[in-house]
Amino acid sequence: MIKAIIFDADGPLYHRTGDITSQTQELLEEYGYHGDIKLFDERYEKEKFKAYVAEETPAQMFQNILALVGVNISTAQAKEVANKFDAIHKQVTATPDAIATLRQLKAEGYLTCVLTDSFYSAEAKWPWFEQLGLKQYLDDMVSSLDIRKLKNTPEAYQACLDKLGVSADEAVFVGHQQYEMDGSKAVQVTSIAILPIATPHIRADYTINALSELSGVLKRINSVRGQV
């Protein structure tokens, strides 16, 4: 019987507001990069995972990325870039059906844990969820920065299972990226992808078109398993 839901944070529960792209472009130009923002984004998407597991600091990450695109900055400047980038990316708001869905799931007795690949520890990230009105409906959180593991590893999901006190067959994972689906599969946690925000051709055990459909899917899973 499904007793717990593990959630990806960015996308399913909140999204970034404002014009992130133009703000990032302005920040990069301030420190000497006037090239295509897409090139920077490509480098960032590859490099960020090192910072997510503390193999390098965010400042070191930005210093390395900018060097790869031909801009050399000092350690002090790299720290400034990291701090300003941090301020841009903290502009978040809850997704439209996040509060209502989490409230419903809590009323139905499900346990919940956020699993986040992040530059922030779980302790540092809880205030985000409090500000968004989500914290009261969540039981726990696991951050890659704390456990030094990403969502493509079984250890990340096992950390959530351990915190919630459930087994893999008693939990589902809700996300939108393939590497997350693969990670949950590695520990035999049922995966659910949210299609409108999912990567193309995503492979998951179940799909939904909105977070508000989640409760119904959980009931269907339990029904199929003969556990209602």
- Say if residue 84 is in the same domain as residue 103: no
Q: How many residues does the chain have?
A: 228
- Say if residue 178 is in the same domain as residue 78: no
Rg for the chain, CA atoms, rounded: 18
pLDDT tens across 111-131, in order?
999 999 999 999 999 999 999
- Cβ neighbours around 102 below 10 Å, total: 25
The pLDDT value given to residue 224:
87
Tell me which of 57, 89, 121 is where a domain ends.
89
- Say if residue 152 is in the same domain as residue 208: yes
pLDDT at residue 172 greater than cutoff 80: yes
In this structure, what CATH number is given to the domain that contains residue 119? 3.40.50.1000
Strand 4-7 and strand 111-116: the pairing is parallel
Please name the residue that has the structure tokens 């000092």: 74
Look at the alpha carbons of 165, 160, 174, 107 in this order and tell me if their dihedral is positive or negative. positive
- Say if residue 103 is in the same domain as residue 171: yes
pLDDT at residue 202 greater than cutoff 80: yes
The pLDDT value given to residue 225:
82
Residue 228 pLDDT grade (very low, low, confident, very high; cuts 50, 70, 90): low
The pLDDT value given to residue 227:
58
pLDDT at residue 109 greater than cutoff 70: yes
Look at the alpha carbons of 33, 87, 150, 74 in this order and tell me if their dihedral is positive or negative. positive
- Say if residue 105 is in the same domain as residue 181: yes
| Domain region containing 27 | 20-89
The pLDDT value given to residue 18:
73
Please tell me the distance from the alpha carbon of residue 209 to that of residue 38, in angstroms, as a whole number: 28
Phi-psi category of residue 21: left, alpha or beta, with phi > 0 → left and psi -120 to 50 → alpha: alpha
pLDDT at residue 197 greater than cutoff 90: yes
- Say if residue 10 is in the same domain as residue 31: no
The pLDDT value given to residue 98:
98
Q: What does the buried/exposed string (b/e) look like for 61-96 if buried means 16 or more CB atoms within 10 Å of the residue's CB?
A: bbbebbeeeebebeeebbbbbbebbeebeeebebbe
Tell me which of 89, 109, 136 is where a domain ends.
89
The answer to whether 204 and 186 are in contact (CB under 8 A) is no
* Contacting residues for 67 by C-beta, under 8 A, at least 6 apart: none
pLDDT at residue 187 greater than cutoff 80: yes
What is the chain's mean pLDDT, rounded?
96
The pLDDT value given to residue 84:
97
**Dihedral in degrees, nearest 10, Cα atoms 11, 13, 154, 221:** -110
> What is the number of structural domains in the chain?
2
Angle subtended by helix axes 37-52 and 58-68, to nearest 10: 150
List the Cα angle 221/181/179 in 5-degree steps: 175
- The candidate with the shortest Cα–Cα distance to 185, out of 171, 199, 164, 200, is 171
- Say if residue 106 is in the same domain as residue 28: no
The pLDDT value given to residue 97:
96
pLDDT at residue 78 greater than cutoff 90: yes
Mean pLDDT of 84-113: 96
The answer to whether 11 and 97 are in contact (CB under 8 A) is no
pLDDT tens across 28-71, in order?
999 999 999 999 999 999 999 999 999 999 999 999 999 999 99
- Say if residue 117 is in the same domain as residue 218: yes
The pLDDT value given to residue 226:
74
Give phi and psi for 10, each to the nearest 5.
-75, 115
Look at the alpha carbons of 57, 62, 67, 68 in this order and tell me if their dihedral is positive or negative. positive
- Say if residue 115 is in the same domain as residue 141: yes
Mean pLDDT of 151-157: 97
Tell me which of 89, 107, 132 is where a domain ends.
89
- Say if residue 41 is in the same domain as residue 116: no
- Say if residue 98 is in the same domain as residue 132: yes
pLDDT tens across 208-226, in order?
999 999 999 999 999 988 7
- Say if residue 105 is in the same domain as residue 218: yes
The pLDDT value given to residue 83:
97
